[in-house]
A = this chain, B = another copy of it.
């Protein structure tokens, strides 16, 4: 399955990059395929592995912050694999031109 998540510290000021960097570090070390976007992190894998990763990220943020807002979106499709890149490509293929950069 493919999962997008974002973890937002509430009440730690307006600039969040220093906190987000700690999350990226955990994701990067997890070994799961992932992609950072401007709005979150997309990972691919099995439910338990992904949820364990998100839990670790969420509670790392809670060490810095008393209130954390975490958003998770799961797209789980039978037999679908390598979808972080594939889903963008499938849309482009039907459209007949490349728009991703």
Contact = CB atoms under 8 A, between A and B. Distances in A.
Interface in A57-81: 58-59, 62, 66-78
Nearest to A74: B70
Interface of A: 2, 4, 8, 10-18, 20-21, 24-25, 28, 35-40, 42, 47, 51, 55, 58-59, 62, 66-78, 83-88, 90-95, 99-101
A54 to B, nearest CB: 9
Given A92-B24, A95-B25, A66 B77 contact: yes
A35 to B, nearest CB: 7
B39 A94 contact: no
B62 A20 contact: no
